[in-house]
Chain A
Amino acid sequence: MHSTRVEDCKAFVETLIHRYQCNPTELIRILREIQDRYRHVPDAAIEALASQLSLPRSRIVGVIEFYSFLHTAPRGRYDVLLSDSISDHMLGKQSLMDDLCRKLGVAPGVTRADGQVSVDNTSCTGLCDQGPAGLVNGYAVTRLTSGRIDRMVPLINESVPLAEWPSDFFAIDDNIRRADLLLNERPEPGAALAALLERGADALLDEIDRSGLRGRGGAGFNTAMKWRFCREAEGDAHYVVCNADEGEPGTFKDRVLLDSYADQVFEGMTLCARIIGARRGFLYLRGEYRYLLKPLQDLLAQRRQKGLLGDDILGATGFNFDIDIHLGAGAYICGEESALIESLEGKRGIPRNRPPYPVTHGYLGRPTVVNNVETLAAAAAIAVHGGQWFAAVGTAKSKGTKILSICGDCARPGIYEYPFGTPIRDILTDCGAGGTLGIQVGGPSGTFIEPGEYDRRLGFEDLATGGSFMIFDASRSLLDIVGNFTHFFAHESCGFCTPCRVGTSLMKNTLDKIHSGHGTAGDLVELRSLCELIKEHSHCGLGHTAANPIIETLERFPDLYEQRLKAIVFEPGFDLDGALEAARQLTGRDDSAAHLQQVDR
């Protein structure tokens, strides 16, 4: 780097460190700002950070390399990422990607020589109902078409600032198609806190208990019990964290809640804070939802002004609580609560050993409640309307409603709130789906169901989902879907444990080999045992579920795989002769010994 750039960079790091009070837990925020300014984190910045935060250089580089949105080499002045979710692919993502790359003269993942632009893939951006979608310099763009791509190319080549791009590129709709308990009405800001102050924390916790509310983030843990455990845990500080990482492909209901019901979410956090005795909370917002950061910060400021956050909330002496928003940097694993906490602490998002659980040893080792966005919004509504209001809806073990984000092959994709216990068939009718191959309920880590199973019901007893509900019609190929999910897991594996880090890559390669018609019976045997190994021996939930799409389909549709096998003993999974091409060019050789047969005859 040029020496003036080095100086500029050092000075910039200096101001950041000052602003963030030399606090290593702020490392990711600091790195994000550096990335924004220089399109990467320059070496000079790494040096300066290491010395001023007293962190080893390796720790900083480790963090940069961990998160998809941080880079050690410069990205383009315009960094375009297209969502790789299966739903975006079904809407024609790949041809748009090819088109965009060709028109801009770039290869995916390689910054153009003039530094103007880079184009790459990114995991699901949570805009599946209005895809194909992507991010330009971190800001979400929706409904991409070849027309939009054509308009985008000159904007990039002529360096038009993002703020001057047509606003329709960035238009994001809520698409709420069916509202029930939660989405039907928004309690007045402060109403839940007023109820809390009137009735007291104990009574409110009992009310949450009565509601039967269980976590909406996937695992379905009883919310009142979680809050009680945390409240009773010893610690010199307690924390509330709202998990808005929403990374499971096909899930986008937290985005809508934070777009249109954020007051209620913050209110739920504040309620929890009072009950467990926290003075500080965090909203961990996935990096893909960066466009929500400013409005959410403004809303926090309004709530402070209204006395709903800050010191002596609603005039209650000693009711002090405030919320900080922490923007993620592109890592699905940070939705796992202990990885999320690591990330909040400025580290790589690697899941911790559990137990101890966050309720006793969470943020900075202190008792911490981590709840999903929807759980917290529901808690606020329960405080206003009472536990019975909520418990009256749903089934024996799944009380209340569930917000689904529906995408894929249906007439009306979007947000649907249903009472638990609703049969899948009714949902399909409502969203206008017909002639289906099946539904993936709960995202890639969830379950695939076939038409014969549509009488099954939504709920923890039967079909649980964090919200993802992807519909596939009969024209889709199940192996394409399984392939997309498997690539997703291999990409998102955090790399901490070998069974998942190595296993998901081997699984991806073997599946691709079979899918493309080069696999043999031996590969299928390998794939089976590999899947079991990953499931049995991985460290966290990602690894435990990463092989599910293959395991399930191998069990239920073995023909899909067997049809594609070659009737030979073995074929390498890579192009053997192609692997000699580089050496042929370097030596100028083309004799027979400079070639290899793909299959040994």
Chain B
Amino acid sequence: MSEKLRIATTSLAGCFGCHMSLLDIDERLLELVEVAEFDRSPLTDIKHCGPCDIGLIEGGVCNAENVHVLREFRQNCKTLVAMGACAINGGIPALRNSIDLRECLTEAYIDGIGVQNPQIPNDPELPLLLDKVHPIQEVVSVDYFLPGCPPSADTIWKFLTDLIAGREPSLPPELVHYD
């Protein structure tokens, strides 16, 4: 048997909903691990990505660390996929884009109701926020976009099985129709 494919996944500025949807392929996970192995992913707790075939990115880019992680994925993954509305458009986290960063942080850490010891966190361990949340394709080049919030398990499954079989992934209308 030929070597297994390697898949890496990560959540940037996302809610983990897309990862939940990935788990939602249920028993098909067993089929998946027949042919593929997980590299860096919340499922494996591997800290850095090695050379991979497929990288699935959930969430947009909201801080400096997101940029580093995303670049690591881009360097290591042959095929990089924006999974879900946040990765594709910025999604819910990007709602802050119309608000000035200072206002945002002041509200959260200084003026907000019930804030104790008000101060804007500045520990060097913490990644700095970008002034706006960006879709991932504004920071690296992206090969595929999987729409949905989250994309359904069937969508993810159809996409992955197409890709793994060496077919150009294609999603039938019922998987990308939301009304």
B131 touches A582 (CB 8 A): yes
How far in angstroms is the closest Cβ of chain A from B39? 19
A593 touches B138 (CB 8 A): no
Q: Complex: how many Å from CA A581 to CA B100?
A: 12
B67 touches A596 (CB 8 A): yes
Given A586-B102, A600-B74, A600-B140, answer yes or no on A593-B64 (Cβ-Cβ < 8 Å): yes
How far in angstroms is the closest Cβ of chain B from A178? 50
B138 touches A573 (CB 8 A): yes
How far in angstroms is the closest Cβ of chain B from A568? 10
Residues of B within 8 A of A581 (CB): 131
Q: Complex: how many Å from CA A598 to CA B128?
A: 16
How far in angstroms is the closest Cβ of chain B from A462? 41
B64 touches A596 (CB 8 A): yes
A-B residue pair count with CB separations less than 8 angstroms: 60
Task: Say which residue of B128, B131, B141 sits within 8 Å of A587 (CB atoms).
Answer: B128
Residues of B within 8 A of A594 (CB): 64, 124, 128
Most central of A520, A591, A593 by chain B CB within 10 Å? A593
Residues of B within 8 A of A573 (CB): 138
B130 close to chain A: CB less than 8 A: yes
Residues of A within 8 A of B130 (CB): 576, 579-580, 583
**A interface, how many residues as a size bin?**
20 to 34
A591 touches B124 (CB 8 A): yes
B122 touches A589 (CB 8 A): yes
A572 touches B139 (CB 8 A): yes
B105 close to chain A: CB less than 8 A: yes
- Chain B residue with the shortest CB-CB distance to A581: B131
- Chain B residue with the shortest CB-CB distance to A522: B141
Residues of B within 8 A of A572 (CB): 134, 138-139
Q: Mark B131-144, 1 if CB is under 8 A from A, else 0.
A: 11010001111000
Task: Say which residue of B101, B124, B140 sits within 8 Å of A586 (CB atoms).
Answer: B101
Q: Mark B98-124, 1 if CB is under 8 A from A, else 0.
A: 001110010000000000000011101
Chain B stretch 135-170: residues in CB contact (< 8 A) with chain A? 138-141
Given A579-B130, A580-B128, A583-B128, answer yes or no on A569-B141 (Cβ-Cβ < 8 Å): yes
Q: Complex: how many Å from CA A583 to CA B132?
A: 11
A600 touches B64 (CB 8 A): no
Q: Complex: how many Å from CA A593 to CA B75?
A: 20
A583 touches B101 (CB 8 A): yes
Q: Complex: how many Å from CA A581 to CA B102?
A: 11
Task: Say which residue of B102, B139, B140 sits within 8 Å of A582 (CB atoms).
Answer: B102
A496 close to chain B: CB less than 8 A: no
A570 close to chain B: CB less than 8 A: yes
A574 close to chain B: CB less than 8 A: yes
Q: Complex: how many Å from CA A569 to CA B105?
A: 35
Given A522-B141, A600-B74, A600-B75, answer yes or no on A584-B67 (Cβ-Cβ < 8 Å): no
B48 close to chain A: CB less than 8 A: no
- Chain A residue with the shortest CB-CB distance to B75: A600
Given A582-B102, A583-B101, A600-B74, answer yes or no on A589-B138 (Cβ-Cβ < 8 Å): no
Q: Complex: how many Å from CA A596 to CA B105?
A: 21
Residues of A within 8 A of B71 (CB): 600
- Chain B residue with the shortest CB-CB distance to A584: B128
Task: Say which residue of A570, A586, A596 sits within 8 Å of B141 (CB atoms).
Answer: A570
Chain A stretch 61-82: residues in CB contact (< 8 A) with chain B? none
Chain A stretch 219-240: residues in CB contact (< 8 A) with chain B? none
B131 touches A583 (CB 8 A): yes
Chain B stretch 32-84: residues in CB contact (< 8 A) with chain A? 64, 67, 71, 74-75
How far in angstroms is the closest Cβ of chain A from B82? 14
Given A586-B105, A588-B122, A600-B75, answer yes or no on A580-B140 (Cβ-Cβ < 8 Å): no
How far in angstroms is the closest Cβ of chain A from B46? 21
Q: Mark A552-592, 1 if CB is under 8 A from B, else 0.
A: 00000000000000000110111010011111101111010
Q: Complex: how many Å from CA A588 to CA B128?
A: 11
Residues of B within 8 A of A522 (CB): 141
How far in angstroms is the closest Cβ of chain B from A450? 34
How far in angstroms is the closest Cβ of chain A from B88? 12
Chain A stretch 508-532: residues in CB contact (< 8 A) with chain B? 520, 522
Q: Complex: how many Å from CA A197 to CA B15?
A: 74
Would you list 17 pairs from A and B whose C-beta atoms are within 8 A, ordered by A residue? Answer: A522-B141, A569-B141, A570-B140, A576-B130, A579-B132, A580-B130, A580-B131, A582-B102, A582-B131, A586-B101, A586-B105, A587-B121, A588-B122, A589-B128, A593-B124, A593-B128, A594-B124
Per CB-CB distance, the 3 closest pairs between chain A and chain B, nearest first, are A587-B122, A583-B128, A579-B130
| Additional 4 contacts, C-beta under 8 A, given A573-B138, A581-B131, A584-B128 | A572-B138, A572-B139, A574-B138, A587-B122
